[in-house]
Structures are given as C-alpha cells and as structure tokens.
Chain A
Amino acid sequence: DQQVKQNSPSLSVQEGRISILNCDYTNSMFDYFLWYKKYPAEGPTFLISISSIKDKNEDGRFTVFLNKSAKHLSLHIVPSQPGDSAVYFCAASGGQGGKLIFGQGTELSVKP
C-alpha cells in the first residue's frame, strides 16, 4: 500500500527551464510534506517543506504547491541548473510521530 507516490521515475529538463516534480498521497491524516534531494552515495538532504494549512511555500528557486483536495503536491524549480540533477523524494508525515513516508523518487536530469 503505497501512501505516497511519485509516478514519474525520471525527468529531463533543459537548463534555464522549469522543472516540475509531482507527488500524490492517499492518507488524509498527513499534515506536513517535505521534499528531499539525494545525490548518489549520499544521504538525502532537506530541500523545502509545506504544512497542510498552506497551499504554497517558496524558497529561492524552489516552490512547493499543495492541493489538499486532490491530495497532490508539486515541486517547481525555476530556473533549473545542471547542479539540480539528483533524485528528488517527496515525503509526508502526520499523526504518526515524526516518521516520514517517502515516495519512490524522481530522477531529475538538467542538461546544459
């Protein structure tokens, strides 16, 4: 039972363009959502988060949008840079202590 789903295993974007990574969830108890970025042979690093009381959170080139009615969130990266190439995981938590439920990840490739 996959509670958090990232249906696109990979995404390729040209440098300077927008990258949009999507994530869907099924558990309505989730109230906090996060995006992590992972480079090969390293642990995931926190990127940006959003509480369920908001529908948008912005940090520099990164914006996360939350649509609670659709149980969908997305991460926008504008403009995309080659250094953004990594695997991006969305994660959710809520009502279960601090443990995170992760999606399968989307590998982003930003081409120069």
Chain B
Amino acid sequence: GAGVSQSPSNKVTEKGKDVELRCDPISGHTALYWYRQSLGQGLEFLIYFQGNSAPDKSGLPSDRFSAERTGGSVSTLTIQRTQQEDSAVYLCASSLSGFDWETQYFGPGTRLLVL
C-alpha cells in the first residue's frame, strides 16, 4: 500500500520568500505529525494533528511557521519570510489514531535550502 508521501522532495528558495510543503498521510490515519531535522541534529517536533482536535503547535519555532490539515487528510506546512536557519529536512509522519504507543510512519522528507 501507499506510504506517506511528501512534495516537493527538494526546494531551494531565497531568503524572505514563502514556501509551502505538502504531506499526504497513509489513508485512514487520523494522526499527522511534522518534524524537521537540521544539519547534524536530531528530529525536532513541530506540530501534531489528531482528528478534529485543535493541533498541538508547541514545537513551531516561530510565528512564521504554520500548518493546516484539510479534510482530515492532506497537510500543508507553510514557512513565511524564510530565513537561512530554516534550511532543514522537513519530515511528515502519520499514525492510525495518535496514541503514543502507535508506530509513526514517516515520509521521505522535503529538503529545504534557503539561500
């Protein structure tokens, strides 16, 4: 079956521009997560959607970052006025119901480079 997909796979942008990153979770998964991995760092939690509940945005590094999930499926992570420190691999994951003992399945990531 299809796994988590993300697009684009790579994105190069200029400082100050806005970018949108897309995630298609596994069909039927109600929980969706965004993480990022900066160079030489571990994965950093950004935001978590669970069904129709208000998202947990506690990991978003600044108000330039936002995410939405339309129709309980596809999610878009938007970074406004990008900065060079936003350069990272942005990873999306999904799980069946959002319980902490469930396996999260990751997509291949979007590599963002801000020049």
A interface with B by C-beta (< 8 Å): 4, 6, 31-32, 34, 36, 41-46, 49, 51, 89, 91, 93-105
Contacts and interface: CB of A to CB of B under 8 A. Distances in A.
B21 to A, nearest CB: 14
B72 interface: no
Given A46-B104, A49-B101, A98 B33 contact: yes
B82 interface: no
Contacts of A100: 33, 35, 43, 45, 104
B42 A43 contact: no
Interface of B: 4, 31, 33, 35, 40-45, 48, 50, 56, 59, 91, 93, 95, 98-109
B104 A89 contact: no
B92 to A, nearest CB: 8
Contacts of B40: 104
A102 B42 contact: yes
Contacts of B109: 42-43
A2 to B, nearest CB: 8
8 contacts: A41-B108, A94-B100, A97-B48, A98-B95, A98-B102, A100-B104, A102-B35, A102-B44
A108 to B, nearest CB: 15
Contacts of A91: 43
Given A32-B101, A105-B42, 5 more contacts: A43-B91, A46-B104, A46-B105, A98-B48, A102-B45
Contacts of A101: 45
A31 B107 CA distance: 25
A104 B42 contact: yes
A35 to B, nearest CB: 11
Pick the 9 closest A-B CB pairs, nearest first: A43-B106, A93-B100, A102-B43, A104-B42, A98-B98, A102-B42, A46-B103, A99-B48, A99-B45
A33 to B, nearest CB: 10
